Amino acid sequence: MVQPTDTPRRPEILAPAGDWECVRAAVENGADAVYFGLERFNARMRAKNFTQADLPALMEFLHKRGVRGYVTFNTLVFPGEIDEARDYARTIIAAGADAAIVQDVGACKLIREISPDFPIHASTQMTVTSAAGVTLARELGASLVVLARENTLADIEAIQAAQRASGHAPLSIEVFVHGALCVAYSGQCLTSEALGGRSANRGECAQACRLPYELICDDRKVDLGDRRYLLSPRDLAGIDVLPELVRLGVASLKIEGRLKSPEYVASITRVYRAALDKLMKNEKCIMENGGGDSQSGTASRSKYELEMTFSRGLGTGWFRGIDNQNLVHARFGTKRGVFLGEVARVQNESVTLRLVAPLKPGDGVVFDAGTPEIREEGGRVYQVDARPGGETTLRFGHGDINFGRVRSGQLLWKTNDPALDRELRATYDGDKIRHTRSVDAEVHGRAGAPLTLILNDRAGHVVREDSAVALAPAQTQPLTEARLRDQLGRLGGTPYNLGKLASRLEGDVMLPMSELNRLRRAAAEKLTALRAAPKRWTIRSGSSGTGDSPVLHNATNHGRAARATQPDAPEIIPVLRNLSQLEAALTVPDIATVYCEFENPKHYREAVARVRNLGKPDFEIWVAPPRITKPGEEWILAQTRSANADGYIVRNADHLRYFADDRKRGDFSLNVANQITAEYFLAHHGLERVTASYDLNIAQLEALLLASNNDACALMPASYDITIHQRMPMFHMEHCVFCSFLSDGRDYHDCGRPCEKHRVRLRDRTGAEFPLKADAGCRNTVFNNRAQTGAEYVARLLALGARHFRVEFVDETPGEVVQTLARYRQLLRGEIDGAALWRELKLLNQLGVTRGQMEAAPRIIRRKS
């Protein structure tokens, strides 16, 4: 049960803005804040976006309207971009933005280096799923955390309870309430990087989750009918859970959609604005049944508008718990809109059906034949004729529809409503102010003295204006509170409406109406000017590097001490995913360390026992808990530690805390893309090494090693594990494909655990088959079908001081494990070169190999001129 907070506060409505039109759409429809990207470090690089030069004018506009503006700084920062990122942060702070939404740990450190008080919002790209993640964000200087979309209401309740018990002032919590759902955990999706060198962590997501896939189970295709979009979730619509979110003390309700149209922004913003305002007034129609005036005209209209504006099918996502049958319907991965009904007959260039939603001439429709990957028939309705028996016949423009491709039984969807589009555009088009915010007024005065008017916008801005004419004793029409409210409430053309009015006038007095009007206008103008002034955040002068930070200073000492103990000999570290692979790896000479990432942590005890039985005291086995940890999953960590391994591969904030007193090394999921991030984890959390981000290509890896090879740095090149062979883990998902399509269950309670019984792959349109694995938390990972190798670059990395090279396996046979490890041992010993190994690996691997992200086209690194 959701527990109410002591004093629920009104959360903000946070709307997306890809351009100026979207900003106006958000503001005029009641957004309390907007978030937008600039031309750099922005996770939606396909949006139009603003520029740094636009920022002062944009912030002035927003602040005049009483709206906050948050800049997205939510990508990883590469080693050669540190100076640029520092300048970028300084620009955002100096322009008076209200906050930066940040993914990269190093970027957080840069911001705090520049300003001690500028607000940092920890992006959903940080993959915060638990109280430990919130604590980590606090350590990095954040004042607000955007939780992962996968967190349920129960998770949020647990996180808030942990915050209250921590003794610290709680950080504000933000959640996505509407829009597209990424099937993979944000910040953990490497699909676009693996398939095309377009990193989602750099704003270049290619949306491979919206494509069709076939399910291959034990080498046979599973007949799923018309369900082919196995990784494409419904869109999120959290309007029904607003009461729970408010009671849980969520501070910000975020709408997804920086790539969407201004009509979308206007529509979704106004629907949630109206719903939240009704909720905060405690209206029964909203509070009953979790938000459900579901039978009322208002709710029906809202549902229609939400579906019409953009919908792949709407649902509450993960808020109400895991329901794999409902999350992904799998029939399509593109916009549909409002369902109209099933085609009953096709004749004489018309279709007849029983409509279940309104339709009128001019509306756009599409015929759903269950094959959305093929061009679908659709167009604008020309005529709508009601027929006896409740059926309706639709006619279209001549030649608009190929009726040879339309069949009875096909589903019909309304994809466009021109009248709604016109209505939405009218809410923001032009310069007219439509949405106003309340200001409180207070008047003071007595006969013979000026009238003093004070306006307060409830956001910290207060102005005073005195009349140029003294008050006089009233003979007939004194300034009663009613007269004052009438005159002072005439705020048309301003962004204000009159809220509370307090009259402190002494006796019956009067003032010419012309002077009272002038006073009102002057005070409103003064208030607007005050609000428009940029916020003044503290900016330290001369902040330019790691030496300014106490944390990084300590890291430097750590690094210098570490240099003396780092081994000189390079090593291959196999990453193994089952016991048979481990047995094979133990037979390979010169292997002294193995990392294990098993689907079931219960098997770690046996793995550790087998290593101990080798009788090699210097041989180490490290084990990895599942990549994601949510509230209530501490038992998995306890099970992992019970194996008594030599060390632990930590992958998230919970692991950092749980294994704080153990030996630990950081995995790729920590997204270490620059030296500042690496220093933070090594110094602040005591990691022995960190794994370099899989987003780095060879040039960026070299830059990372070079940046770590000096006495002023906490690091050395050997501080990194570098993965030189792997099947890239592409999607990492709360969505369980096994449960959804190989069972009728909702989650692990009733799915029958098909993941333990079957070997499953996903086959894409090209015929490529991608292995699918489930972990102890029932989260699925889709791995690339081809191995990728950095063999050709190993010599360069060795020359720069790299010493620890990971070779990862997924479902390779023991023989393949032995053969692959043997070849990489030869590479490190200089017995074969990288080019030769590349050619051999192409022959060894049935599906071939790729050079992967290391060979990705060099990403543009803009430096200061």
Rounded Cα gap, residues 209 and 490, in angstroms? 52
Asked if 173 and 243 sit in the same domain, the reply is yes
Rounded Cα gap, residues 632 and 637, in angstroms? 11
Contacts of 191 (CB under 8 A, 6+ apart): 184, 200, 206, 208, 209, 730, 731, 782
Cβ distance 115 to 540 under 8 Å?
yes
Asked whether residue 2 is domain-assigned, the answer is no
What integer pLDDT is reported at residue 849 of this predicted model? Answer: 73
What integer pLDDT is reported at residue 50 of this predicted model? Answer: 87
What integer pLDDT is reported at residue 194 of this predicted model? Answer: 67
- Range 362-366, long-range pairs (CB < 8 A, 24+ positions): 362/418, 362/419, 363/414, 363/416, 363/417, 363/418, 364/414, 364/415, 364/416, 364/417, 364/418, 365/340, 365/394, 365/412, 365/413, 365/414, 365/415, 366/336, 366/337, 366/412, 366/413, 366/415
Would the pLDDT of 2 be above 60? no
Asked whether residue 550 is domain-assigned, the answer is no
Please compute the mean of the pLDDT values over residues 251-255 and round it to a whole number.
Answer: 98
Asked whether residue 559 is domain-assigned, the answer is no
Would the pLDDT of 558 be above 50? no
User: From the CB of residue 419, how many other CB atoms can be counted at a distance below 10 Å?
Assistant: 10
Q: How confident is the model at residue 863 (pLDDT cuts 50, 70, 90)?
A: very low
User: From the CB of residue 507, how many other CB atoms can be counted at a distance below 10 Å?
Assistant: 11
Would the pLDDT of 365 be above 80? yes
Asked whether residue 865 is domain-assigned, the answer is no
Asked if 223 and 237 sit in the same domain, the reply is no
Digit-coded pLDDT (tens) for 6-31: 557 899 999 999 999 999 999 999 99
Q: How confident is the model at residue 393 (pLDDT cuts 50, 70, 90)?
A: very high
| Percentage with pLDDT > 70 across the chain | 90
Bigger pLDDT: 374 or 134? 134
Burial class of residue 526 (count of CB atoms within 10 Å of its CB; 0-12, 13-18, 19+): middle
Asked whether residue 5 is domain-assigned, the answer is no
Bigger pLDDT: 551 or 774? 774
The last residue of one of the domains, among 532, 557, 584, is: 532
Determine the 3-state secondary structure of 530 from DSSP: helix
Please compute the mean of the pLDDT values over residues 36-49 and round it to a whole number.
Answer: 75
Asked if 687 and 801 sit in the same domain, the reply is yes
Q: How confident is the model at residue 70 (pLDDT cuts 50, 70, 90)?
A: very high
Asked whether residue 545 is domain-assigned, the answer is no
Asked if 342 and 311 sit in the same domain, the reply is no
Would the pLDDT of 559 be above 70? no
Q: Minimal CA–CA distance to 43: which of 202, 189, 206, 196? A: 202
Asked if 584 and 620 sit in the same domain, the reply is yes
Q: What are phi and psi of 580, to 5 degrees?
A: -70, -35
The last residue of one of the domains, among 738, 766, 784, is: 784
Cβ distance 171 to 249 under 8 Å?
no
Bigger pLDDT: 839 or 150? 150
Asked if 630 and 655 sit in the same domain, the reply is yes
Digit-coded pLDDT (tens) for 738-768: 999 999 999 999 999 999 999 999 999 999 9
Asked if 242 and 386 sit in the same domain, the reply is no
Rounded Cα gap, residues 424 and 270, in angstroms? 10
Asked if 573 and 527 sit in the same domain, the reply is no
Asked if 475 and 591 sit in the same domain, the reply is no
Would the pLDDT of 860 be above 60? no
Range of lowest pLDDT (172-176, 263-267, 601-605, 834-838): 834-838
Q: How many domains does the chain have?
A: 5
Q: Radius of gyration (Cα) for the chain, nearest Å?
A: 30
Asked if 256 and 214 sit in the same domain, the reply is no
Asked whether residue 89 is domain-assigned, the answer is yes
Burial class of residue 720 (count of CB atoms within 10 Å of its CB; 0-12, 13-18, 19+): buried
Cα 392 to its chain centre, rounded Å, is: 43
Residue 1 structure tokens: 């049960």
Range of lowest pLDDT (47-51, 343-347, 565-569, 708-712): 565-569
Asked if 120 and 227 sit in the same domain, the reply is no
| Percentage with pLDDT > 90 across the chain | 80
- Point out which residues pair with 621 in neighbouring strands: 594
Contacts of 665 (CB under 8 A, 6+ apart): 622, 647, 648, 649, 650, 687, 688, 689, 690, 691, 721
Asked if 417 and 341 sit in the same domain, the reply is yes
Rounded Cα gap, residues 366 and 360, in angstroms? 14
Asked whether residue 552 is domain-assigned, the answer is no
Instruction: Give the length of the chain.
Output: 865
Digit-coded pLDDT (tens) for 664-705: 999 999 999 999 999 999 999 999 999 999 999 999 999 999
CATH number, position 79: 3.20.20.70
Would the pLDDT of 295 be above 70? no
Would the pLDDT of 128 be above 90? yes
CATH number, position 384: 2.40.30.10
Bigger pLDDT: 712 or 191? 191
Please compute the mean of the pLDDT values over residues 206-212 and round it to a whole number.
Answer: 86
Q: Minimal CA–CA distance to 366: which of 344, 337, 345? A: 337
The last residue of one of the domains, among 315, 346, 374, is: 315
Bigger pLDDT: 713 or 803? 803
Would the pLDDT of 314 be above 60? yes
Range of lowest pLDDT (136-150, 300-314, 639-653): 300-314
Range of the domain at 369: 337-425
What integer pLDDT is reported at residue 8 of this predicted model? Answer: 72
Q: How confident is the model at residue 551 (pLDDT cuts 50, 70, 90)?
A: very low
Bigger pLDDT: 541 or 193? 541
Cβ distance 137 to 122 under 8 Å?
yes
Digit-coded pLDDT (tens) for 602-619: 999 999 999 999 999 999
What integer pLDDT is reported at residue 224 of this predicted model? Answer: 95
Burial class of residue 70 (count of CB atoms within 10 Å of its CB; 0-12, 13-18, 19+): buried
